[in-house]
Amino acid sequence: MSGHQTFTEHIQAQAAETPDQEALILLTEHEGTLRPETITYGQLDIQARHLAAALGRHVRPGDRVLIAHRSRALFVTSFLACLYSGAIAVPVAPTGGHGHHDERFGGIVKEAAVACVLTSTAEAADVSQLLARTGHGDVVCLPADGPAAVAGAGPWEPFAPGPDTVAYLQYTSGSTRDPRGVIVTHRSLLANQRAIREALGTRPGTRLGGWLPLHHDMGLVGQLLHALWLGGTAVLLTPTAFVKRPANWLETVSRYGLTVSAAPDFAYEMCVRRVNDTQLAGLDLSGWETAVNGGEPIDAATLDAFAERFAPAGLRPGAMAPCYGLAEATLIVSGTRTAPPGRAVDAAALEKGRLTDPVGPGRTVTHCGPPASVDVRIVDPDTCAEVPDGLIGEIWVRGESVGPGYWARPAETAAAFDCRISGGGSGFLRTGDLGALQDGLLHVTGRLKDMIVIAGRNLYPQDLERTAQQVSGLFGAATAFALPGVRERIVIIQELRSGSRYDIDLAGLAAAVQERISEEYEVRTAGVVLVRPGTVRRTTSGKVERAAMRRLFLRGELTPLHQRMEPEVEQLMATG
Ligand code: 1ZZ
C-alpha cells in the first residue's frame, strides 16, 4: 500500500499481485432486485491497457480526456486508461437531460480544451450531437466499449508519471458559465488516500462501497479510489437506486458486509424517514464501523435519529463519522471515526463568531474531528490574521493534499491557493468555509462563499439567477441565496424590468420561477420574491451583493410586489 509515488504504479502493482481479487462489485437494478456484476483487478488492468492503446492513437500525455459515462464499469476503465496513457482524465456527470447540464458540459470541454471524449457505443451519437451543438464538433468522441477500444488498437505504450504529474481535473467548482477544474496530482491523490486511512482507520480488510456518483470527489476519491488503493473491493450501487429506494443502500451495507460507507447528511435523514419497519427488520448493520457523514452541513439531530432508528438492526452507537472536505484539497480535510456527542453552544455567541457554553438559547453543533494530515488554521477573512481557539473565522488549509490550483486559471489559483497568514506562513488554501478549532477539533459553522449546498450538491447562485431571469421577458436582475440552517433553502429575489406594469399575473410568474428551477436543477425553491426594478443591490463593480440581499430579506426590509413562500421560511423571517 505504500512506497509507490503514483496512483498508476500503485494500481498496476495491485493488479499484478492479486489479479483474481475482486476490484468492483457493480449492482444494477433488475426486476426489483440488485444484480451484482464482478470485475477483478486483472480484468480492470487488461481493459485499461486496451483502452489506453486506443486512446494513444488520438491523444498525447497531458491532453485532457472527458469521461462521460452512465456505465460505472466504463467509467472505471476509462479513468484508469487515462492514467495508463498519461492523459488527464476529466470526469463529468453523464450527459443528457437538463439544459444547464449540457451547457456545463460544453463549458468544461472549452475550459479544459478537451481533446477527446470517452463515451459508450450506446451514448456516442448523443454525445457527438452535444459536442456539435456546443460548438465542439472537432473533438474526438471515442466509445470505450467500441471494437477499437476493447482490443486490437495496437500496442500500449506505458506512460510513467511522476508524483507531480496531473492525474485528473475535478470539476465540482464554479458555476455553469465559470467552471473551475481543480488539478489533482498523483502526489495530492496519494496524500489524501493516506489522510483518509489515518482519519478513519481504514485498512486492507476494509469493505467499502455506496451509491455516491463517481464523477464527484466524494464518490471518486473516497469510495472508488480508496477501495482500489486499499486493494479491496468497491461495492457500488447507483445514486438513482438509492433515491428511488433508500433501503437499497442499507441492504447493500448489510448484504455485502460493508465496513465503511459514506454519504451527505440528507441521505441519513432520508433513511430515517423512508426505510420502513419491514425493511429495517431484514437489516444487519452490525459490521458497519464507519458511516461517513460529509459534503454538506451536518445536523446533530440526524446523527441521533439515525443511530436510534437503526440500533435495532445492530448499528453500533457512534458509527456515524462526521467529516469535512472539499475538492480543492482532493477530498478529506478533517474527520473522526466515531460520532461525537452533539454539543450545545450559545446561539447568540455563535452568531457573533464564538463557540461558548450556553448562557441563553443554545444550538447544537457537531465537530468534524481533527485535521487529517493537513495544517488547518482559522483566519479572519478581512485581516488574514489567525484567530484564537474557539473563535469562528475562515478555514485555511495547507499540506500535500492541496494540489497546485485550478486548471488554466492563474488569477483564481493565486487568490485561493496561495494565501499568506498575516504575521504567519504562506501557501494556504482559502476554503471559503467558516469554522472554529477548539481543542484541536474542527467545527464547520457556515460559509463565506456564495455556493449553495443542497443534498450534497453544489449549486451556484449565478446559475439559478440566470434560469429565473429567463422565465419572462419582464424580468431584470435577480439574486439567489441560501437561507442559513442545516437544510439550506433557496430564495430568489427577482426584479421586474423598469417600465413594467404591476397589474399582471405576478403569482403566476412566481410559480413559473419555482417550476423552472425545479425542472432544471431538481431542487425546491423555498421563496420567490418579485420586486421593483433597482432593488437588487450591486457593488460599484456591478457584482450582485447576495449577502446584503439575504440580510434585507431576513429582516423583512424588502418591499415585495409579490412573494411565494414556504411556511418555514416565513417562520425563519419572523425569528430574525
Ligand atoms: P465539494 C472512505 N461541506 O463535498 C470515505 N463538508 O467536496 C471517505 N459543509 O468540493 C470520505 N459541513 O463538492 C471522506 N462537514 O464541496 C469524505 O461542501 C470527507 O462548503 C467529506 O467547501 C468530503 C466532502 C467533499 C465535498 C465542498 C464544500 C465545502 C463546504 C461543504 C463539505 C461539509 C461541508 C459543512 C461539512
pLDDT score, position 152: 64
Same domain (yes/no): 500, 435: no
pLDDT score, position 39: 98
Same domain (yes/no): 474, 435: no
Residue 226, domain member (yes or no) = no
Same domain (yes/no): 424, 374: yes
Please identify, among 447, 478, 513, the residue that sits at the C-terminal boundary of a domain.
447
Same domain (yes/no): 503, 423: no
- Name the domain count of the chain: 2
SS3 294: coil
Please identify, among 447, 476, 501, the residue that sits at the C-terminal boundary of a domain.
447
The answer to whether the CB of 35 falls within 8 A of the CB of 61 is: no
Rounded to 10 degrees, what is the CA torsion of 124, 125, 127, 131? 130
pLDDT score, position 101: 79
Q: What separation in Å is there between the alpha carbon of 445 and the centre of ligand 1?
A: 13
Q: What separation in Å is there between the alpha carbon of 457 and the centre of ligand 1?
A: 10
Residue 397 lies in domain: 342-447
Same domain (yes/no): 456, 571: yes
Same domain (yes/no): 418, 501: no
Same domain (yes/no): 438, 353: yes
Residue 242, domain member (yes or no) = no
Of 229, 233, 234, 192, nearest to 211 by C-alpha is 234
**Which residue owns the Cα nearest ligand 1 atom 22?**
326
pLDDT score, position 543: 80
Over residues 511-548, the pLDDT tens digits come to 999 999 999 888 999 999 999 999 998 877 778 889 89
Q: What separation in Å is there between the alpha carbon of 332 and the centre of ligand 1?
A: 7
Count CB-CB contacts under 10 A for residue 576. 8
Under-50 pLDDT residues of the chain: none
In order, the DSSP letters of 107-167 are HHHHHTT--EEEE-TTTHHHHHHHHHHTT-TTSEEEETTSHHHHS-S---------TTSEE
Same domain (yes/no): 466, 425: no
Q: 3-state SS string over 230-259? A: CCCCEEECCHHHHHHCCHHHHHHHHHCCCC
Over residues 274-288, the pLDDT tens digits come to 999 999 999 999 999
Residue from 453, 486, 487 to probe ligand 1 pocket by mutation (most atoms less than 8 Å from CB):
453
CATH code: domain of residue 419: 2.30.38.10
Over residues 18-49, the pLDDT tens digits come to 999 999 999 999 888 999 999 999 999 999 99
Please identify, among 417, 447, 477, the residue that sits at the C-terminal boundary of a domain.
447
pLDDT score, position 96: 63
Same domain (yes/no): 498, 512: yes
Residues within a 6 A CB radius of ligand 1? 172, 196, 200, 217-218, 222, 226, 260, 262, 292, 294-298, 323-327, 331-332, 335, 368, 431, 433, 444, 447, 453, 458
